[in-house]
Structure 1
Amino acid sequence: MVTAPDQISRLRVALSLTGTGSSDFDLSPGVVLPAGRKLRPAGVLMPFVETRTGLELVLTKRSSALKHHPGQIAFPGGKRDALDTDIRATALREAHEEIGLNPTHVEVLGQLPEHETVTGFTVTPVLGLVTSEFTPIVEPGEVEEAFRVPFDHVTRLANFSRQGRFWQGQMRWYETVPLGPYYIWGATARMLRGLAERLAQ
């Protein structure tokens, strides 16, 4: 049986590999991005919780009242503030604000390459291991719900599929890795696939 320590070891190896970043557009080579666009740095936390049956990843469902990505499944995170010492600090601060995760209760394992979003951010995924008992307390202005998904579901390439829709007159393709009532897609699924690809090496 695969245990949480085994999965943590696999994560450490995956994070040690080199690789390039990703974007919301890299599955759609026909999309032309505007020259000179300005991208803002952001950080998200992939918080893994250890259980008797293996790791589980905490995800959120964003508030439907938000300007960007309302109602979508996402990692806790947001744009970097001037007071953040680095992008890891951003991810930890945002997770604390959005789901009540104390930064001192997170062991940062590493980070993945940046991901460019359609909303003009370069997002750095920071992977962390929650080191104490944790019950999410969501910030209702930003988060509608916090829930967990099994490590195996979001790290197995066979669970991912690509779908498409028209966006600004062009077909744009994106990753999905749905689970039950949760439609995990777009940037969140694309970053998870990047992790899954590393784990498969």
Structure 2
Amino acid sequence: MEFDRVADHEALAVDDEPREAAVVVPVIERANGHYVLFTERADHLPNHAGQMSFPGGGREPEDDGLLDTALREANEEVGLEPAEVDVVGRLDDIRTISRYSVRPFVTRVPDREYRPNDGEVAEVVPLPVAGLIDLDNYESERRDHPHYGDVRLHFFHVDGVTVWGATAEMLAQFLELATHWEMPPEPDRVAGPDDDLPESVRDQV
């Protein structure tokens, strides 16, 4: 893992969306390699139920900046203590269809059991970086988005789960910075605005 490249990255900010959020991109190291921790959103949530996400959420008035938001939310969602977190650097802010700007913080965290908050998180899912960078596990499509125009959607299929949407957008940049993974220059397909998403994610919209 090339954490120095993440630390040196001059992240782009998004400051014109009405709401702010922040997430941590938690990386653990095991004897057989690095893993990225994801949360599976609880099925009863009104938005993005069942999707793979990074721990995080919306900024609250009492938060002392977006890093504080990310650490508070990660503590609430999976029991990650702020004192355990080694913040490596930032990725570019992204926009979401729910009109949030989201700031991702890449972090190194301990390899231990994390407890999901049943109100928000169904499961904590570690996925191996070796699987995430395997291009046989990756596909993408170009699609006309109703708000943002021409966008490229990423789909990472590893260990029976699919990471896609905003989380996959952040993951793609993280992998390009921290590993030798390179996004293929062209998507696998071009989809129309009314075309179905891949079958693996249709129930997560």
Rounded Cα–Cα distance in structure 1 between residues aligned with 2:13 and 2:138 = 18
Shift of 1:166: 7.9
Residue 15, structure 1, aligned to residue 7, structure 2: yes
Deviates more, 1:11-20 or 1:77-86: 11-20
Runs of 4+ in 1 over 4 A off after TM superposition: 19-22, 155-159, 164-168, 170-173
Counterpart in 2 of 1:147? Answer: 125
CA distance change for structure 1 residues 155 and 79 in 2, over 3 Å: closer, same or farther?
farther
CA contact (8 A) 2:11 2:93 kept: no
Answering whether residue 141 of structure 2 is matched by residue 163 of structure 1, we say: yes
Secondary structure of the 2:6 match is helix
TM-score of the aligned structures, taking structure 1 as reference length: 0.78
Judge conservation of contact 2:6–2:91 (CA < 8 Å) in 1.
no
**Which residue does 1:25 correspond to in 2?**
none
- Is the partner of 1:144 in helix, strand or coil? strand
Q: For structure 1, which runs of at least 5 residues remain unmatched after alignment? A: 1-6, 23-36
Other-structure match for 1:42: 21
Aligned equivalents of 2:13 and 2:176: distance in 1?
12
Q: Is the aligned partner of 1:77 residue 2:56?
A: yes
SS in 1 for 2:157: coil
**CA positional deviation for 1:134:** 2.1
- Provide TM-score, normalisation by structure 2: 0.76
Of the three residues 68, 76, 89, the one matched with 1:110 is 89
Q: Please give the alpha-carbon distance, in whole angstroms, between the structure 2 residues aligned to 1:181 and 1:159.
A: 10
User: Matched residue of 2:158: which SS?
Assistant: coil
Amino acid at match of 1:15: A
Q: Does the 8 Å contact 2:20/2:58 carry over to 1?
A: yes
Aligned partner of 2:192 in structure 1 is none
User: How many Å separate the matches in 1 of 2:131 and 2:38?
Assistant: 13
The alignment partner of 1:177 has SS state of strand
Q: How much has 1:145 moved relative to structure 2?
A: 0.7
Give 1:120's match in structure 2, choosing from 91, 96, 99.
99
Aligned length: 178
| Distance apart, 1:152 and its partner CA | 2.7
Distance in 2 (alpha carbons) for counterparts of 1:12 and 1:120: 31
CA shift in 2, pair 1:50/1:112, >3 Å: same
The percentage of counterpart residues that share the same residue type is 30
Tell me the CA shift for residue 125 of structure 1.
0.7
Q: Which residue of 2 aligns with 1:60?
A: 39
User: In 1, Cα distance between the equivalents of 2:135 and 2:90?
Assistant: 20
CA distance in 2, matches of 1:166, 1:40: 23
Which residue identity is paired with 2:5?
Answer: V
C-alpha change, 1:157 and 1:12, in structure 2 (3 Å) is: farther
User: Post-superposition shift, 1:172?
Assistant: 6.2
Could you list the per-position Cα deviations for residues 27-64 of structure 1 after superposition, in whole angstroms to 9, with x for gaps in the alignment?
Answer: xxxxxxxxxx8431100111111211222111011011
Whether the 8 Å contact between 1:97 and 1:139 is mirrored in structure 2 is yes
**8 A contact 2:52–2:164 mirrored in 1:** yes
